[in-house]
């Protein structure tokens, strides 16, 4: 038996669970809203070309309109100014082996339930590591907040001073990127940064620090409550868009339940 034969047999037998971490692309799913002086991200739209009718008697299909950053999506280094000169920084250039790899989940759901502006800090990370071991190099790190269970306006959670949602502090991102050398960071919220992330130094520290170091982002993830803290494998291949700064994608995790 080879590793791949065992792997395929494990999926077929259900010993390896495949968990879908993706929201459905739907015109009603929120996209990030920037202050009005900036360009805006498009919502998902689907236009019928034909549906077994005079426009195409035996087939049904649609044209799509969306942003690189609509729905559950991948952020490439070239998305941020800090990563504009990173080699292989666009989605079409990233080596494909980066799209499959180990993943750990830091459960912040309790704190995020009490505080919309909950911060992932170095203290939270080191407390997690005291229980689960050090975050391995080249792993994806996902911040679980259960934010994906919110619907409608509660998802962006806009107030007079902008959106309020949980995210990492600059010191937490420096720890993950500079000391743990992670592959990427993912969240259940509309961005890898907190809703109020503009007030940190640097502003939007997850974007700035991750992409400046050639690391990747995932956002609008779902079902993180179905993953173990360690031991799962993430599959997150973005579309191969020439010079693309990101891409909607299907994100899956493979989980081997301990018997």
Is 23 a residue that touches Mn ion (CB under 5 A)?
Answer: no
Catalytic, out of 23, 69, 79, 211? 79
How many residues lie near Mn ion (CB under 5 A)? 3
Q: Which of 57, 68, 22 is nearest to 244 (CA)?
A: 68
Distance CA 31, CA 40 (A): 9
Is 69 a residue that touches Mn ion (CB under 5 A)?
Answer: yes
Q: Which is nearer to Mn ion, 77 or 128 (CB)?
A: 77
Q: Residues 78, 70, 145, CA angle at the centre, nearest 5°?
A: 95
- C-alpha distances in Å from residue 205, one per residue of 108, 170, 191, 259: 18, 5, 11, 40
Q: Which of 94, 138, 145, 141 is nearest to 117 (CA)?
A: 145
Least Å distance, CB 109 to Mn ion, is 22
Least Å distance, CB 196 to Mn ion, is 17
Least Å distance, CB 154 to Mn ion, is 20
Least Å distance, CB 59 to Mn ion, is 33
Q: Which two tokens stand for residue 56?
A: 């195409």
What is the contact mask toward Mn ion in residues 207 to 246, using x (rule: CB under 5 A)? ---------------------------------------x
**Could you confirm whether 73 is annotated as catalytic?**
no
List of residues 6+ apart from 1 with CB closer than 8 A: 9
Is 75 a residue that touches Mn ion (CB under 5 A)?
Answer: yes
Catalytic residues, by residue number, are 79
């Amino acid at each position: 038996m080879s590793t791949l034969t065992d792997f395929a047999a494990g999926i077929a037998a259900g010993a390896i669970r495949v968990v879908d971490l993706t929201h459905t692309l739907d015109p009603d799913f929120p996209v990030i809203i920037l202050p009005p002086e900036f360009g805006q991200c498009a919502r998902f739209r689907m236009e019928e070309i034909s549906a077994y009718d005079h426009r195409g008697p035996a087939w049904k299909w649609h044209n799509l309109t969306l942003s690189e950053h609509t729905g559950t999506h991948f952020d490439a280094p070239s998305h941020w100014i800090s990563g504009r000169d990173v080699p292989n920084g666009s989605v079409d250039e990233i080596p494909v082996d980066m799209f499959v790899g180990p993943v750990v989940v830091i459960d912040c759901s309790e704190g995020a339930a009490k505080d919309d502006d909950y911060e992932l800090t170095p203290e939270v990370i080191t407390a997690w590591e005291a229980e689960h071991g050090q975050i391995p190099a080249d792993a994806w790190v996902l911040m679980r907040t259960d934010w994906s269970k919110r619907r409608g306006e509660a998802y962006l959670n806009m107030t007079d001073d902008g959106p309020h949602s949980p995210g990492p502090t600059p010191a937490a991102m420096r720890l993950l990127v500079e000391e743990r050398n992670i592959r990427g960071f993912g969240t259940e919220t509309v961005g890898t940064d907190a809703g109020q992330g503009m007030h940190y130094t640097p502003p939007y520290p997850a974007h700035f620090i991750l992409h400046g170091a050639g690391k990747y982002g995932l956002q609008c993830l779902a079902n993180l409550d179905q993953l173990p803290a360690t031991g799962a494998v993430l599959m997150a291949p973005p579309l191969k868009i020439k010079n693309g700064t990101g891409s909607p994608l299907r994100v899956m995790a493979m989980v081997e339940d301990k018997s």
